[in-house]
Chains A and B, each alone.
Chain A
Amino acid sequence: MVSFNFFQSFYFIMTTISVVGYGSSIYSLQGKLMMGLIIIIIIVTIPEKATDLVTLLNSKSKFALA
């Protein structure tokens, strides 16, 4: 059985979130389905959070950052 411990899984998710990939893959069908769901969640929510952050940063004067 392919060993997939927590740190490998963590690294895999990090490379996926950062859209780097590095060619790593998961092997089971269930894992692939779950990964598809996670990617959809990432695609929807990460840009939203990034927009929130930019809006928040722009809403403050550079002299009033605290």
Chain B
Amino acid sequence: MCKFDKDPIWRMPATSSGPDYMENVYPKDIWLIDSYDKESNTTSYVLPIDNLSEHYFPSGDCSGEFHIYYYTLLIMSHTYFLTEFLLRALSAKEIKNFIGELDSMIEIFTNVPFFMLLAIFGKEDYYFQLFLAFDMMRLMLYDRYVAHIKTELTNGITSIIMYLFSLIMISSIVIQFIEN
């Protein structure tokens, strides 16, 4: 399941019992923990909490064997995207108008903070991982590819379908990350 991340930020350690169970299991620096404690003390649902981490994330699944490749590829791809964006910005007729476009905003938002957050907080930081979830915003750049469809009606329908797909995917991944 998590072959790209050896120790994902949302994964609980596989501790099932012990006197300091609460201290071992819950990462204290994650702010979602308050809501978890609040929910777990109600009777609204019952979960096998003691075996939860082992049940969902067995050690065999979380081997992280592609861990290094994943972050290397991330850095390479973001370097490429940033370089491409800078070249396009420099070759634009009016840089101010070019940067003001939605596509350019998405490029800046998904590329520039990536290097800053990686350098400042490191790859296992919660906010860096949350930022990676927002990388899906690059799906909103579909206009570049749809623009090559010359038929007006096909272009319009494809554009709307791509927009819906982007919105659903971005929302799903961000909500999934926040909830975990």
Contacts and interface: CB of A to CB of B under 8 A. Distances in A.
Given A1-B52, A17-B168, A49 B163 contact: yes
A4 B180 contact: yes
A12 B176 CA distance: 10
Interface string B35-74: 1100110000101000010001000000000000000000
Nearest to A66: B151
Contact of A57 (B153, B167, B175): B153
B172 A9 contact: yes
B32 interface: yes
A27 B39 contact: yes
Interface residues of A, number: 34
| Dominant SS among interface residues on chain A | helix
Most A C-beta atoms less than 10 A away, residue of B32, B36, B173, B179: B179
B112 interface: no
| Dominant SS among interface residues on chain B | helix
B75 interface: no
A10 B152 CA distance: 30
A53 B156 contact: yes
A63 to B, nearest CB: 13
B178 interface: yes
Given A1-B12, A34-B174, A34-B178, A27 B168 contact: no
B157 interface: yes
Nearest to B170: A38
A13 B39 contact: no
B153 A42 contact: no
A3 to B, nearest CB: 6
Contacts of A6: 172-173, 176
Interface of B: 12, 31-32, 35-36, 39-40, 45, 47, 52, 56, 151-153, 156-157, 160, 163-164, 167-168, 171-176, 178-180
